[in-house]
Amino acid sequence: MKLKALFLLMLGVATMNGQAKKTTAAKKPAATTSAAASEGIFAEMETSKGKILLQLEYKATPVTVANFVSLAEGTNPQVSAQYKGKKFYDGLKFHRVIKDFMIQGGDPLGSGQGDPGYKFKDEITDAKFDKAGILAMANAGPGTNGSQFFITHKDTPWLNGKHTIFGYVITGQDVVNAIAQDDQILKVTIIRKGADAKKFDAAKVFGDYFANKSVEEKAKMEADAAAKKVADEKLAAAAAVKKPYLDKQKAAGTATPSGVVFTVIKGGGAKPADGTVVNLYYAGYLENGTLFDSNIIDVSKEYGKFDQRRLDGHGYDPIPFTIGSQGKMIAGFTEALSHMGFNDKIIAFLPASQAYGERGAGGVIPPNANIIFEIEMLEKKP
């Protein structure tokens, strides 16, 4: 079951549609040029600002490279009729450019909504968005790759695991950095060096992928089902251990007029004044002990809910909250914080009326569900 970070405390969610998504991240020195290999498959992209030479990772991401190469050479067997036999990228524009992030192109409509007439799978490897000049597929979510791609201006680690990286800039990062929105791709030329590269038949590789797609998808569904079964069993086992502990803590707790019950696990910390920004670790449970969300790594792992992409996006960092404000927190959670000091830990038992009430939350928290939070309040981030 997939949860968005902080979803269970906040009231809003955000999604990505058909594009790479910008997120604020700390800047690092970024490499701008990679050393060219003596052999391999390369793409020379001539633009209205100059040339960009890209090395394509055809061994690590064969289907994605086959897609790009066959589109560039006009040999793609899956394109819509109007694109058959045409060099797909020649004459298209960079329809989306965000300074200090990336340039995006490959849309035949020039609006961000176009595609070549099909969608294909992700090929996520251990490659990371750790420098400038990374070539990757734009998408609208898993398995929605088409013709749109982007090239980065800098390291963009929040994209790790979400977009297929299939190449790198060898020369011309200065051109990438100079490109503005609506600049053109004049021509893409594919260069093959070495025996292996020359044997790579892009049209055949891509055609074979679609011919075997149903078999591959069935195997993936079976693997996903098996993984889910293991995760569900781990979740149930952890919940069975947690429930008696939570029941015991509630029985020893202090009730408030609103119906919230809280138990102090570690107390005595100095109370923060209104307006103070505190940092919070939390774990949220249903009454049966099932974890629905946490920004604590060890808890998430115990319940089989650890998400590497969330870690890469700093989703396991403590969340900031300004004392004295309601913010976007549910009422019972905010009330629980009023009973805490720095470095305190409590367990708060929230009745549905002080949580998500009749509406529930995102199909994860049922309507009229009582919920439980373990909370730790820190003065500073660790």
pLDDT 10s digits, 243-259? 999 999 999 999 999 99
pLDDT of residue 31: 42
pLDDT band at 204 (very low <50, low <70, confident <90, very high): very high
pLDDT of residue 328: 77
| pLDDT digits 0-9 by tens, 47-84 | 999 999 999 999 999 999 999 999 999 999 999 999 99
pLDDT of residue 224: 82
pLDDT band at 102 (very low <50, low <70, confident <90, very high): very high
Is residue 192 part of the annotated active site? The answer reads no
b/e sequence 181-219, b meaning 16+ C-beta within 10 Å: eebbbeebebebeeeebeebebbebbbebeeeeeeeeee
pLDDT of residue 221: 78
- What tokens were used for 243? 């429930």
Q: Which of 67, 76, 78, 104 is catalytic?
A: 104
Average pLDDT over residues 133-158: 96
Is residue 101 part of the annotated active site? The answer reads yes
Q: Which of 159, 280, 286, 350 is catalytic?
A: 159
Q: Is the pLDDT of residue 136 over 50?
A: yes
- Look up residue 101 and give its DSSP letter: T
Q: Is the pLDDT of residue 215 over 90?
A: no
Ordered domains of the chain (ranges, CATH): 40-216 (2.40.100.10), 240-378 (3.10.50.40)
What's the whole-number average pLDDT of the chain? 89
pLDDT of residue 214: 79
d(CA 163, CA 156): 11
Q: Which of 101, 149, 200, 373 is catalytic?
A: 101
Nearest to 253 by CA among 346, 190, 378, 368: 346
Residues ≥6 apart with Cβ < 8 Å to 37? 55, 193
Is residue 200 part of the annotated active site? The answer reads no
Q: Which of 153, 163, 192, 310 is catalytic?
A: 163
E strand residue ranges, 260-370: 261-266, 277-286, 291-294, 319-322, 345-350
- What tokens were used for 118? 């099909």
Is residue 159 part of the annotated active site? The answer reads yes
Q: Which of 55, 76, 139, 160 is catalytic?
A: 139
Is residue 96 part of the annotated active site? The answer reads yes
In angstroms, how far is CA 316 from the centroid of its own chain? 13
Is residue 306 part of the annotated active site? The answer reads no
| pLDDT digits 0-9 by tens, 280-337 | 999 999 999 999 999 999 999 999 899 988 998 899 999 999 998 876 789 999 999 9
| pLDDT digits 0-9 by tens, 164-179 | 999 999 999 999 999 9
pLDDT band at 362 (very low <50, low <70, confident <90, very high): confident
Q: Which of 9, 19, 88, 96 is catalytic?
A: 96
pTM flag (> 0.75): no
